[in-house]
A and B are shown apart, each in its own frame.
Chain A
Amino acid sequence: MALIEFTKRGIYCKQGDFYVDPWWPVDYAVTTHGHSDHVRFGNKYYLCHTLTKPIIKRRISEDLNVETLNYGESIVRNGVNISFYPAGHIIGSAQVRLEYKGEVCVISGDYKTEDDGISDVFEPVKCHSFVSESTFGLPVYKWQKQEVVFNGIKSWVNDNIQQQKTSVLIAYSLGKAQRLIKNLAGDVPIYVHNSIANLNEVIIDAGVNLPETIRITPETTKDELQKGIVIVPPAMRDSRWIKNLSHPVTGICSGWMQVRAHRRWQSADAGFALSDHADWTGLMDAITATGAEKVYVTHGFTAAFSRFLNDEGIESEEVMTKFGQEDDEENKVDLADAENHHVETENKKSE
């Protein structure tokens, strides 16, 4: 009997009686990572990685009942052994390994195979069945090494500073923002929006080594910002606040920026193809490394990717989930961000 089934509440393990990343409230939710399409309010118990706990408590509610595991640790629930392995997607992101009577299933959540310098590096886990995302499951999506992309961003920032323009990077406040901070820190001061600064505090308190950044306050001057790098969440994109900066230019960091049509559609001043999802090569490498006999393909180019796997002799099936809804969390407006944004505009009004 299979270890998991795909139900209307989410991925369900019948033997263990728990869900993984459910989208409707359940008793016991094993959580791969802290993005809002993978963890929701209303579950009785949560099981997540140690680093994810303070993140979801901050983002959802302090009152959550949360159990934690470190990578490599395991607990047993109704005879099913549950353990976590790094997924490399964002800080605290985990692949969930389930084992029951010798049968092994891995639910990878969102993942990437490249070392981003801040998340624990993806670790392939041998299994019989594997649940994989396919956000960028087409062979045109092959990332350059992040070093190359970051050099591109740095030279863009330097050009902007020289031309008296203010560099504004749009980045999802959990994950992409910290990755940018970690890899861009150095010569130029980094200014971050409230919602990012709040999360940074939580992450630093949890023991992650994150370079210093400056929280943007009403006292921060336009001149200071012009000489630095400004990082704001997607909800701020069209805001009056950005338009009022000194010659603002916006840069979007997302895997979609690989393609001209997407770059143009976004109407940003610059697009950098930097993703927290595996590219085509990453997906194929990860899947091959698991040695899985059966691969369930979730959110993304599910049809094409699973057809390709089947043609390659890896049995595969598309499954419908509510992950990666809208387009991709890289571009999605996060509710937490939107609320902060709201508070901030209120503050502005009272000035």
Chain B
Amino acid sequence: MKRFAKLIQQLELSNKTNDKIAALVDYFNHADDQDKIWVIALFTGKKPKRPIKSALLKYWAIDITQTPEWLFSESYSNVGDLSETIALLLPPAENTSDFSLHKWIEDLHDLEGKDDETKKVFILNAWNHLETQERFIFNKLISGNFRIGVSNKMLVNALAKQSSLDSAQIMHSIMGKWNPYEITFHELINGTHVNTDNSWPYPFCLAYALEQEPEKLVDLSEWQAEWKWDGIRGQIVKRNGELFIWSRGEELVTDQFPELHFLIDVLPDGVVLDGEILALQDKQVLSFSTLQQRLNRKTINKKQLDDAPIGFFVYDILEYETNDFREHPLSERRAILEQLFENLDESAVILSPVINCKNWEELATLRQTSRSINSEGIMLKKLSSHYHSGRKRGDWWKWKINPYTVDAVMIYAQKGSGRRANFFTDYTFAVRDGENLVTIAKAYSGLTDKEIKEVNSFVTRNAIEKFGPVRTVKPELVFEIAFEGIAESKRHKAGLALRFPRILRWRKDKKAAEINTLEDLRQLLESTFING
């Protein structure tokens, strides 16, 4: 438990991915094999069943410390975490213990079905044997999630580094079905419980943004135009009777999207599809913010399935009849796709339509209507193109519509990282709401180095307050912020959130009095809401 407590502390202290991976590698190099299994289980959301309600933990802590309940609540609101509040409130432990992580988990498991008094005796005794940080973790094992910023991808990278195994293979292994009580660490990362041959994905083919006039691409007839959808890119793999869904970030997300599981019965074996996971209703694409309700969740409930149904728009086929088709021209791959989908009338999986236009002008006009169908523009793919690995200039272009913009004033500044660590480069912007300013976005990029230096000197001279690394500054500098979408948000004070905000330009010609209002943004929200 002490070793695991140290790992948690290290993971919490750093914001740098490399430090976190190093801490994980160090842990996996030295920890007990049975403990490692549990660490992987905990970090990937395979929580042991809760033997005790958190409310009981709270009452027992209140009981033994004789803390009034209101004072417990005051403490809890200062600390912000129930497990930690309890760990800090308890008197120092009178004993120490060297039990391993898995021993604690097994002992907790054995409490299942016991009466409350037995549970209480066990918990109080455990608290009296653990240091504060260990107690915190122990409480977390019972009552909560570890939110320490370790993604599946990061965990897999650390395991790959430590074991010298392929990361896609490990990803499949740990995302597969396994029981932490039964499997060994060796079996788990080698994937003996799954057939990793079945799951491996291809690298995605990516497009550059079109910076020139499309007419420069000359002959429209050599190009395939499609809508550019605003969801998350995904790859569907069907081999030997098994179905896998990979995200762009090379995470296996199969379990997150049950709507697509029917494909296991529909697709032939040896097929890999490239496409976009989208929020979809009656074959109409919904806004990205709807899809967001479904992302990065370890479990999905019925309400989420009802509120944000998803589907898959198919772009391309990479493997067919177990053969790698990436070297075949797009026109040929498209023909296979159309044949494959000819008899498939499913509302959740749709072949992304090809746009047929006579000339560039017609296509340009059509592109202006992208937003009305929640598309962010047009993709241009050369009919003769192969399916490249990664980004390659020339064959695929994304021709996005111009973003929305808003004029906003800077109110907070924070120092950047890496090369820009000495400069204030991360800004928070606000629009006017009556007499007040209300925060609407945080943006990092979009200024030249010279402009950054200028803003930096403004921040240094006009800082009003200091909160750790953040400075409140005089609301004076106006910037034009570009963004891709707008959605209602309960988490933000403004009641709305901008998607992918970035600085378009510094409006030195504008005064803070001339910026946009919250009302302007609300109107925009309403107009997009009707379409979405």
From the candidates B67, B89, B422, name the one contacting A240 in the complex (CB within 8 A): B422
Chain B residue at minimal CB-CB distance from A243: B421
User: Does B75 sit within 8 A of A, measured CB to CB?
Assistant: yes
Chain B residue at minimal CB-CB distance from A331: B468
From the candidates A141, A260, A270, A311, name the one contacting B68 in the complex (CB within 8 A): A311
- Digitize B453-491: 1 where CB-to-A-CB distance is under 8 Å, 0 elsewhere: 000000000000110110000000000000000000000
Whether the Cβ atoms of A140 and B78 lie closer than 8 Å is: yes
- CA distance in complex: A308, B469 (Å): 34
Chain A residue at minimal CB-CB distance from B86: A140
- CA distance in complex: A138, B74 (Å): 8
- CA distance in complex: A304, B74 (Å): 7
- Identify which of A34-42, A114-122, A182-190, A261-269 touches chain B: A261-269
- CA distance in complex: A304, B81 (Å): 19
- CA distance in complex: A326, B71 (Å): 24
Whether the Cβ atoms of B80 and A140 lie closer than 8 Å is: no
Whether the Cβ atoms of B415 and A238 lie closer than 8 Å is: yes
User: Does B179 sit within 8 A of A, measured CB to CB?
Assistant: no
Whether the Cβ atoms of B88 and A259 lie closer than 8 Å is: yes
| Neighbouring A residues of B68 by C-beta, 8 Å | 308, 311
- Given A267-B468, A270-B13, do A139 and B78 touch, yes or no (CB 8 Å)? no
User: Does B124 sit within 8 A of A, measured CB to CB?
Assistant: no
Whether the Cβ atoms of A263 and B13 lie closer than 8 Å is: yes
Number of A residues near B (Cβ < 8 Å) is: 28
| Neighbouring B residues of A139 by C-beta, 8 Å | 65, 67, 71, 75, 89
From the candidates A270, A308, A333, name the one contacting B71 in the complex (CB within 8 A): A308
User: Does B301 sit within 8 A of A, measured CB to CB?
Assistant: no
User: Does A142 sit within 8 A of B, measured CB to CB?
Assistant: yes
- CA distance in complex: A240, B466 (Å): 18
- CA distance in complex: A63, B65 (Å): 53
| Neighbouring A residues of B415 by C-beta, 8 Å | 238
User: Does A258 sit within 8 A of B, measured CB to CB?
Assistant: yes
Whether the Cβ atoms of B13 and A269 lie closer than 8 Å is: yes
B8 CB to nearest A CB, Å? 10
- CA distance in complex: A326, B467 (Å): 9
A residues 252-278 with Cβ under 8 Å of B? 258-261, 263-271
From the candidates A138, A308, A311, A326, name the one contacting B78 in the complex (CB within 8 A): A138
Whether the Cβ atoms of A266 and B468 lie closer than 8 Å is: yes
- CA distance in complex: A223, B250 (Å): 42
A residues 118-167 with Cβ under 8 Å of B? 138-142
Whether the Cβ atoms of A138 and B468 lie closer than 8 Å is: no
Whether the Cβ atoms of B88 and A258 lie closer than 8 Å is: yes
- Digitize B32-46: 1 where CB-to-A-CB distance is under 8 Å, 0 elsewhere: 000000000000000
| Neighbouring A residues of B12 by C-beta, 8 Å | 260, 263-264
User: Does A301 sit within 8 A of B, measured CB to CB?
Assistant: yes
- CA distance in complex: A240, B88 (Å): 36
| Neighbouring A residues of B465 by C-beta, 8 Å | 326
A144 CB to nearest B CB, Å? 8
Find the residue from A142, A266, A311 having the highest chain B CB count within 10 A: A142
Whether the Cβ atoms of A138 and B75 lie closer than 8 Å is: yes
Whether the Cβ atoms of A304 and B84 lie closer than 8 Å is: no
- CA distance in complex: A39, B71 (Å): 33
Whether the Cβ atoms of B15 and A267 lie closer than 8 Å is: yes
| Neighbouring B residues of A240 by C-beta, 8 Å | 422
- CA distance in complex: A270, B84 (Å): 18
- Given A142-B88, A258-B88, A260-B84, do A333 and B75 touch, yes or no (CB 8 Å)? no
- Residue numbers of B with Cβ under 8 A of A are 12-15, 65, 67-68, 70-71, 74-75, 78-81, 84-85, 88-89, 136, 415, 421-422, 465-466, 468-469
What are the nearest 5 A-B pairs in CB distance?
A140-B88, A304-B74, A140-B75, A261-B80, A138-B75
Beyond A140-B78, A271-B13, A326-B466, 6 additional pairs, beta carbon < 8 A: A138-B75, A139-B65, A140-B88, A259-B80, A260-B12, A263-B12
